[in-house]
Amino acid sequence: MQLKLLARRVVKGSKNASQYTALLGHSTLPTPLWNHQLSPLLPALTIPNEQVVAVSIDNSSVFIPGGSTPQFGFRRTDILAQKGAGNPHPVIALMETGVTAFHVSIKADLVHPLNYTHEYQIVFIEPNDGSHIFEIQLGSPFTNPTGTIPTLDAHSFKVRDHALNLLFETPFTPGNWHNFAVQVDWTKLTLAVLYSTDSSPLKAVTKLVSNPTAAAGAAGQGDFHFTVLKLPLVNPADSPADQGDVVHFGIQEGKKETLLYSGVFVESVQQGISVGGGKTIKAITS
């Protein structure tokens, strides 16, 4: 089963969604990994079959969850997976049962770059407790007090498990599409990461790893986000208690920043994991 995400729900600031998200049409090509092959006799002859989604933040990107306290510490725009209009929970049951793979491809926007002195959480599954089953990060991890920034690995992707252990790290090179698949076993609580760039087939970059701190069953299920979620820097003028409250306090510059996404889908791995070029490999089992 391959689940195409036909609708979306956007966590955003106060302006219309078009301020923060955009389909780029023919102006920017998506990852070539999932291009449609025109002829089996000419495997290199392909055409795109999707559009790139630009996800942006600016100083208005302050989310107010359920009409409660504004999240002034964050700047965020999140796209949450849905299969149809309305409540996202039916699609969660489809995505988060058995063993599934979450695919996403990410590219830099050279016109509106990130500020790598900050931490960015960009792909994750978030249960109701606010934790992440796995997450992909960029930038310099938030610390209190703020350490030396940007960190040496600020320009690298970091894939982390539920306990924030580092599973895989690779440079975020501009001009390339960076393709990820994260295999999640929702019963045995394990993870595996696959990665490639541009049209190269996905390959496993980790072994099967335990994810024991994640909750089993419905408590461990949650929304699938692909996003630009920018954490603040500590504001020395804030109280000691507020300096650790990254959601509501801290320093943000407010400039427009953008990431480009394509190749976002979820699949059951019962018949294998899609790796590009119409090929699959067996699920990661060891």
Identify the CATH number of the domain in which residue 224 sits: 2.60.120.1160
State how many domains the chain has.
1
Q: What pLDDT score does 38 carry?
A: 73
Structural tokens at position 71: 């999240």
Establish if 164 belongs to a structural domain.
yes
Mean predicted lDDT score pLDDT of the chain: 93
Please state the rounded mean pLDDT for residues 51-74. 94
The reported pTM is 0.94
Q: What pLDDT score does 1 carry?
A: 54
For residue 225, pLDDT beyond 70? yes
Residue 10's pLDDT band, with cuts at 50, 70 and 90, is confident
Please state the rounded mean pLDDT for residues 79-95. 74
Residue 47's pLDDT band, with cuts at 50, 70 and 90, is confident
Range of the domain at 235: 2-281
Q: What pLDDT score does 42 carry?
A: 65
Q: What pLDDT score does 267 carry?
A: 96
Establish if 286 belongs to a structural domain.
no
Q: What pLDDT score does 46 carry?
A: 79
Q: What pLDDT score does 3 carry?
A: 56
Establish if 142 belongs to a structural domain.
yes
Establish if 167 belongs to a structural domain.
yes
Please state the rounded mean pLDDT for residues 112-116. 98
C-alpha torsion angle, residues 267, 271, 273, 275 (rounded to 10): -110
218 phi/psi in degrees, rounded to 5:
-60, -30
Percent of the chain, pLDDT > 90? 83
